[in-house]
């Protein structure tokens, strides 16, 4: 491997290799050790990894070294993410450069631009049907534009995150086209079957991602005359990771993108990477081995890069994507906390924080050098089934409970929300929910200034939970200016059958331009959100690794938890100055809380609200949908 790398890098790369080689080779052996010529394949893989590393720029090598020296760089309370579609945010990759000042004003340090690689012609699942991993979607720019943008972002302390779709490729990807042309080599990159015998065996245990728009998990390809595994849409062909060539090509494609300046990869659909009959083909052990092997390769060739798991699974299944089953085999640096997101919305609908409590108590402490990605909205629907285990607690029926929540956000009677159900073919089933945060919190239904104020409080309350829970919070484009739903998507033929485009609007330029005018709706929200962010950056106890203590009590409308150590356990002395108490009112009625009745490790007689600088001693009244960030007054 070293013979393919400049001599001056040998010592550093040798140290990285020695640190990661055991896990890498162990995982590759578990996955592919039974293959003929396994050892020759490993040598080929590592030679190609070395060749890509040799092309890494001096600037990126320096970044690698800085981050190796400070491996918790991304876990600090100063980190903030922002997520947007390139075209809807800024038109093109070049256009994003013009939005960097806005990102910097918010304090963004991590920019997730939704799929910008060349996508399938025609329907492409919002860019997630990738036709090429080494080309940019032409209407968005080219590789030179990407390198230029990442340089400008780095100059402002912002890391670019790219989607990297691991599970599938488009049916017009070169591999799929070669398979259709009769190449047995590329056909083996996919799962395909001559008849329905094997697919029907698998289908017995498989769920459906899009039961209305794309039912089933296999699609018949008329050119191949075979059934192809297509978990998502028929034009997205699942990759066959039992074939080592698939792992090799995908790992190299990721490294090539990292050499073009991408610093974080959102690994799409990680839970689906391995198929096993008799299971739902999710969260299989081999899926984790694939990610652990990929992490090891990144640690050798591009250690400044972060991997983020997009695994929308129940709370109990999330921690494994950090590699927590064995600390010696790290996996992803980041993972979406989808359960916390869904539970927070559920709490709004129920005016009850019990779902959030259940999720928080089911969430284990983070391993070192990892962080949750906490978020409120994204380009996808809110999937309620991830909190089914938590909804089944509190002596309630999960199906009925989640169905009520989904109907509430779809605009049921007496609801402030104006969202839409996703893949709703059965009125009695639990469906996902679509809609922008502003529409789901009541901005769209508000008819008075008072109702607008309550809508704003709800939106800020959700972000407050995200900001204080622990991890890297993510703002979805437009939430900072109360961006409305894009109701016009229904008139665009390629989007009309996918209501997720409701939350994929073009940036409201008028609201964006008014964001500094507090007399406007967007300006008022923007100022208050920026205030929360400014306070968060100043509070070290909100870093990802700081412990969280859930303070469950009998008033279920209130969410209370502590970040930080209230007591130094080694000396049994008070450390209250290093703790923050979050209080959130998830109801439309004011609530009174006696502070000294909370089960705090040590008593605090005087409190300071970090948001308002107001002091409290014993009792606090929390207005409807409001929040307080309290610390010990000094």
CATH number for the domain spanning 554: value is 2.60.40.1180
Q: Which domain holds residue 335?
A: 73-171+240-540
Residue ending a domain, choose from 518, 540, 562: 540
* Per-residue pLDDT, 424: 55
- The verdict on residue 181 lying in a domain is no
* Per-residue pLDDT, 212: 82
Tell me: do 480 and 559 sit in the same domain: no
Tokens of 2: 């070293």
Q: Beta partners for 82?
A: 111, 475
225 CA to centre of own chain: 37
Determine the Cα–Cα distance for residues 516 and 538; give it in Å rounded to an integer: 22
Residue ending a domain, choose from 540, 558, 581: 540
Tell me: do 526 and 562 sit in the same domain: no
Tell me: do 141 and 279 sit in the same domain: yes
* Per-residue pLDDT, 325: 67
E-assigned strand segments in 284-333: 306-309
Q: DSSP readout, 351-362?
A: T--HHHHHHHHH
Determine the Cα–Cα distance for residues 187 and 180; give it in Å rounded to an integer: 8
Q: Is residue 188 annotated as a catalytic residue, yes or no?
A: no
- The verdict on residue 67 lying in a domain is no
- Residue appearing with tokens 């190449």: 183
CATH number, position 493: 3.20.20.80
> What sign does the CA torsion over 181, 187, 191, 192 have?
positive
Q: Report the chain's terminal Cα–Cα distance, integer Å.
A: 58
Residue ending a domain, choose from 512, 540, 568: 540
- The verdict on residue 119 lying in a domain is yes
Q: Is residue 400 annotated as a catalytic residue, yes or no?
A: no
Collapse the DSSP code of 505 into the 3-class scheme (helix H, G, I; strand E, B; otherwise coil) and give the result: coil
Helix, strand and coil content of the chain, in percent to the nearest 5, comes to 40, 15, 40
- The verdict on residue 116 lying in a domain is yes
Catalytic residue, from 263, 310, 390, 565: name it. 310
Catalytic residue, from 64, 125, 137, 268: name it. 268
Tell me: do 427 and 561 sit in the same domain: no
The total of structural domains in the chain comes to 2
- The verdict on residue 47 lying in a domain is no
- The verdict on residue 229 lying in a domain is no
Nearest to 260 by CA among 125, 379, 116, 48: 116
- The verdict on residue 91 lying in a domain is yes
H/E segment holding residue 373: strand 371-375
Tell me: do 398 and 317 sit in the same domain: yes
* Per-residue pLDDT, 568: 40
pTM over 0.85: yes
Q: Consecutive 10-residue runs of the chain (634 residues): their mean pLDDT? A: 81 89 97 96 97 96 97 98 99 99 99 99 96 98 99 98 98 99 98 98 94 92 98 98 99 99 98 97 96 98 97 89 83 97 98 97 92 97 94 87 95 94 63 95 98 99 98 98 98 92 98 98 98 98 96 94 66 61 98 92 90 96 99 92
Tell me: do 486 and 610 sit in the same domain: no
């Amino acid at each position: 491997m070293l013979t393919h790398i400049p001599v001056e890098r040998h010592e550093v790369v040798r140290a990285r290799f020695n640190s990661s080689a055991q896990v890498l080779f162990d995982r590759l052996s578990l996955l592919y050790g039974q293959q003929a010529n396994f050892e020759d394949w490993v040598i080929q893989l590592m030679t190609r990894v070395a060749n890509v590393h040799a092309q890494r720029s001096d600037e990126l090598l320096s970044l690698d070294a800085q981050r190796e020296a400070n491996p918790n760089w991304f876990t600090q309370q100063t980190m903030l993410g922002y997520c947007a579609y390139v075209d809807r945010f800024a038109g093109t990759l070049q256009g994003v450069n013009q939005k960097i000042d806005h990102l910097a004003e918010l304090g963004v340090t991590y920019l997730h631009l939704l799929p910008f690689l060349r996508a399938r012609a025609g329907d492409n699942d919002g860019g997630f049907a990738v036709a090429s991993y080494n080309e940019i979607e032409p209407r968005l720019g080219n590789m030179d534009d990407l390198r230029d943008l990442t340089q400008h972002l780095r100059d402002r302390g912002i890391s670019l995150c790219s989607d990297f779709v691991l599970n599938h490729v488009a049916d017009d990807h070169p591999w799929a086209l070669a398979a259709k042309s009769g190449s047995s080599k590329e056909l083996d990159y996919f799962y395909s079957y001559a008849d329905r015998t094997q697919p029907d065996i698998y289908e017995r245990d498989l769920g459906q991602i899009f039961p209305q728009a794309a039912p089933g998990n296999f699609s018949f390809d008329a050119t191949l005359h075979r059934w192809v595994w297509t978990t998502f849409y028929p034009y997205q062909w699942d990759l066959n990771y039992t074939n080592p060539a698939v792992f090799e090509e995908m790992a190299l494609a990721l490294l090539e993108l990292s050499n073009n300046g991408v610093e974080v990869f959102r690994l799409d659909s990680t839970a689906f990477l391995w198929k096993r009959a008799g299971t739902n083909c999710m969260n299989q052990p081999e899926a984790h081995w694939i990610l652990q092997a990929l992490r090891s390769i990144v640690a050798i060739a591009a250690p400044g890069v972060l991997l983020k798991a997009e695994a929308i699974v129940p709370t109990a299944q999330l921690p494994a994507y950090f590699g927590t089953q064995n600390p010696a085999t790290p996996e992803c640096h980041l993972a979406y906390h989808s359960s916390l997101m869904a539970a927070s919305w559920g709490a709004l609908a129920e005016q009850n924080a019990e779902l959030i409590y259940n999720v928080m108590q089911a969430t284990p402490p983070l391993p070192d050098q990892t962080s949750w990605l906490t978020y409120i909205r994204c380009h996808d629907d809110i999937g309620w089934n991830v909190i089914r285990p938590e909804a089944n607690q509190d002596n309630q029926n999960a199906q009925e409970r989640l169905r009520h929540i989904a109907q509430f956000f779809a605009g049921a009677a007496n609801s402030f929300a104006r969202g839409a159900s996703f893949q709703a073919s059965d009125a009695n089933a639990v469906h996902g929910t679509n809609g922008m945060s502003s529409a789901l919190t009541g901005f769209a239904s508000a008819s008075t200034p008072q109702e607008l104020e309550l809508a704003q409080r709800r939106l800020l309350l959700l972000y407050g939970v995200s900001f204080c829970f622990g991890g890297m919070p993510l703002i979805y484009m437009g939430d900072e200016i109360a961006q409305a739903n894009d109701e016009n998507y229904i008139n665009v033929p390629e989007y009309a059958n996918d209501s997720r485009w409701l939350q994929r609007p073009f940036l409201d330029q008028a609201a964006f331009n008014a964001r500094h005018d507090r007399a406007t709706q967007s300006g008022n929200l923007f100022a208050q959100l920026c205030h929360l962010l400014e306070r968060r950056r100043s509070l070290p106890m909100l870093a990802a690794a700081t412990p969280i203590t859930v303070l469950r009590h009998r008033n279920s409308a209130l969410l209370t938890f502590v970040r930080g150590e209230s007591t130094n356990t080694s000396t049994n002395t008070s450390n209250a100055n290093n703790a923050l108490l979050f209080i959130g009112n998830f109801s439309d009625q004011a609530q009174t809380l006696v502070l000294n009745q909370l089960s705090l490790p040590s008593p605090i007689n005087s409190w300071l609200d970090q948001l308002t600088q107001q002091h409290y001693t014993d009792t606090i009244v929390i207005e409807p949908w409001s929040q307080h960030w309290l610390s010990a007054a000094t």
